């Protein structure tokens, strides 16, 4: 688990990353806990979902190249 703060906003979000082993692979669950619905909506508006997907796809490529699951 880690926290981050967007500069100038002053409302840190808590992010939890959970890894679960499943039948020869690993399930990754990423959860963001925001201080308000407005902040959550702003994250979506500015591409947080797409950024997280891109980061996880890149992680999958690195794991595949290393021979992991």
pLDDT digits (tens, 9 = 90+) for 15-57: 888 888 988 888 888 888 888 898 888 888 888 888 888 988 9
pTM over 0.75: no
Integer angstrom CA distances of residue 58 from 16, 27, 40? 19, 15, 24
Q: Domain range holding 6?
A: 2-66
How many independent structural domains does the chain possess?
1
Quick one: which of 16, 2, 9 has its CA closest to 46? 9
Asked whether 30 and 4 are in contact (CB, 8 A), the reply is no
CA distance 37 to 7: 19
């Amino acid at each position: 688990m880690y926290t981050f703060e967007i500069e100038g906003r002053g409302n840190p979000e808590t992010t939890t990353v959970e890894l679960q082993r499943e039948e020869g692979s690993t399930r990754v669950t990423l959860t963001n806990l925001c201080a308000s619905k407005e902040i959550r909506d702003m994250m979506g508006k500015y591409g947080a979902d797409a950024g997280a997907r891109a980061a996880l796809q890149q992680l999958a490529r690195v794991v595949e190249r290393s021979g992991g699951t």
